[in-house]
Amino acid sequence: MSRLPSGQAILSRSRIIIVGAGFGGLAATQALKYADADVILIDRTNHHLFQPLLYQVATAALSSVDIATATRALLRRQANATVLMAEVVAIDPRGKRVTISSGQDIDYDFLIIATGAAYSYFGHEKWADFSYVLKTLDDATEIRSAILGAFERAEGSGDAEEIRSLLTFVVVGGGPTGVELAGNIAELARSSLTRDFRHINPASARIILCEGSSKVLGEFPDHLSAYAKSSLSSLGVEIRLGTRVTDIGPQGLRAGGQWIDTRSVFWAAGTAARPAAEWLKLEPAHGGAVSVDANCAVIGLRDVFAIGDVSSHTDASGRRLPGLAAVAKQQGVYIGKLLSAKLKGGATFPPFRYRDLGTLAVIGRYRAVARLPGLSLTGTAAWLIWSLVHLFLLVDFRSRLAVYVNWTWSWFTYGRGARLMLGMAAHDSSNPIDTGPPIEPASGGADRQ
């Protein structure tokens, strides 16, 4: 009998460790529900995040709790699953052991790595100090505070040049995240905030989208990309194609040889896999990913699998599978079935085949594109499909209900219900408003205002 770091006893049967509670890791865990094995899911957070709607938290359309659910709550009825909130710092594939941040080791019989990807600055890591990325709930709330804070500081400034800088927002990267973020910042400024300020006009905000290639949504067909570009332009987004960023600093960035004064740069230009290849002491594949075979097994290692963005998986036609949630979920289900069969003595299992059900991207209210099998849609029809698909894919009923209610309210009122600025003090030194001397609290109540 062996023990977990917490001291909880584990029966002497096969142990499967899954690293990462994203789409792939959660799908694999749930697919192993009836397997004759102990499943340990390790993640550095205590929640499963529905990442496709993260930009709506960043632009105040949704609250953090609308798109995240406690992992333990999702798995409370799965008797063979244990959840550990920890960070993996090392893997010994030969000793079949994982080391977590506390320094403790956990042995495994099978290992599934589903740690996803992070943003890459293509060798310019110092740019991270002057820009925002969107991968976690913390990132989203930080971006929301930065966007709303820019309007708040501009309201109290009497300097026209400073106001222009504060109300200039630059998104770097014309993929789905960049397009969705730029479109929603534009709608926030031009619809939701227009009646709330007295000294500035939020609709005058500049939203600039810089993309290094010749089109936005590069993985979509040309006509859908053209529609997305036209829709962004109609929202007032300035689109700069063929424009590469060469410098980012505290006062702005240089793109296409031109300096842009801004306090708000949002980086959505490229990704790199989490350091699984480094853990496994393997030569990384494209984007730092781990190379896997047709069964999602890490090439060169025994009983180690990688799924989702952390893996480099080439299908039968030689095409590398895209970094989509749908790929990770299908791989997670596949690995669950494969290991369940292996535990029952199955010797072979058919290779993984990705079912491409299409790709969706939303630009704004009634504006979306949909690439479906044998069909392309734009506008309201695509927007409705996008809405229904995302509601359906949310992991629990509470999240579906909360998102539906918030979307319905926003649809009728053009409002944004999550406009709280978290982690940003009113007396921030960058805020030029002079509030006068501090006010002493009234006698008898320190919490009075």
Quick one: 218 and 92 in the same domain?
no
Active site residues: 180
Q: How confident is the model at residue 365 (pLDDT cuts 50, 70, 90)?
A: confident
Q: Is residue 53 part of a domain?
A: no
Residue 145 maps to which CATH number?
Answer: 3.50.50.100
Burial (CB < 10 A; 0-12, 13-18, 19+), residue 410, is: buried
Q: Do 218 and 225 meet the contact criterion of CB atoms below 8 Å apart?
A: yes
Q: Is residue 186 part of a domain?
A: yes
Alpha-carbon gap, residue 336 to 25, rounded angstroms: 10
Quick one: 209 and 110 in the same domain?
no
Quick one: 157 and 240 in the same domain?
yes
Q: Which domain holds residue 252?
A: 125-269+358-413
Would you state the pLDDT for residue 345? 86
Beta bridge partners of 100: 88
Mean pLDDT of 378-400: 91
pLDDT at 344 over 80: yes
Quick one: 265 and 212 in the same domain?
yes
Tens-digit pLDDT profile for residues 256-303? 999 999 999 999 997 777 778 888 888 888 777 899 999 999 999 999
Residue 306 maps to which CATH number?
Answer: 3.50.50.60
Would you state the pLDDT for residue 383? 93
Q: Is residue 171 part of a domain?
A: yes
Would you state the pLDDT for residue 428? 46
Would you state the pLDDT for residue 6? 43
Tens-digit pLDDT profile for residues 11-62? 468 999 999 999 999 999 999 999 999 999 999 999 999 999 999 999 988 9
CA distances from 215 to 140, 228, 358 (A): 26, 10, 20
Tens-digit pLDDT profile for residues 199-244? 999 999 999 999 999 999 999 999 999 999 999 999 999 999 999 9
Q: Is residue 439 part of a domain?
A: no
Q: Do 29 and 20 meet the contact criterion of CB atoms below 8 Å apart?
A: no
Would you state the pLDDT for residue 109? 96
Percent of the chain surpassing pLDDT 90 = 68
Quick one: 372 and 316 in the same domain?
no
Q: Is residue 432 part of a domain?
A: no
Q: Is residue 36 part of a domain?
A: yes
Mean of the per-residue pLDDT values of the chain = 87
Q: Is residue 334 part of a domain?
A: yes
Quick one: 95 and 168 in the same domain?
no
Quick one: 322 and 237 in the same domain?
no
pLDDT at 123 over 70: yes
Count the alpha carbons within 13 Å of 92 in the hemisphere toward its beta carbon.
Answer: 12
Tens-digit pLDDT profile for residues 415-426? 666 666 766 544
Q: Is residue 63 part of a domain?
A: no
Quick one: 218 and 363 in the same domain?
yes
Quick one: 281 and 398 in the same domain?
no
Rg (CA), the chain: 24
Quick one: 164 and 193 in the same domain?
yes
pTM for this model (two decimals): 0.86
Q: Which residues have CB under 8 Å from 48's CB, separation 6+?
A: 21, 22, 26, 68, 69, 70, 71, 74, 395
Beta bridge partners of 325: none
Quick one: 132 and 246 in the same domain?
yes
Alpha-carbon gap, residue 242 to 119, rounded angstroms: 20
Tens-digit pLDDT profile for residues 158-214? 899 999 999 999 999 999 999 999 999 999 999 889 888 999 999 999 999 999 999
Domain count, the chain: 2
Neighbours of 261 (CB within 10 A): 14
Q: Which residues have CB under 8 Å from 197's CB, separation 6+?
A: 151, 155
Quick one: 318 and 230 in the same domain?
no
Q: SS3 of 8, please? A: coil
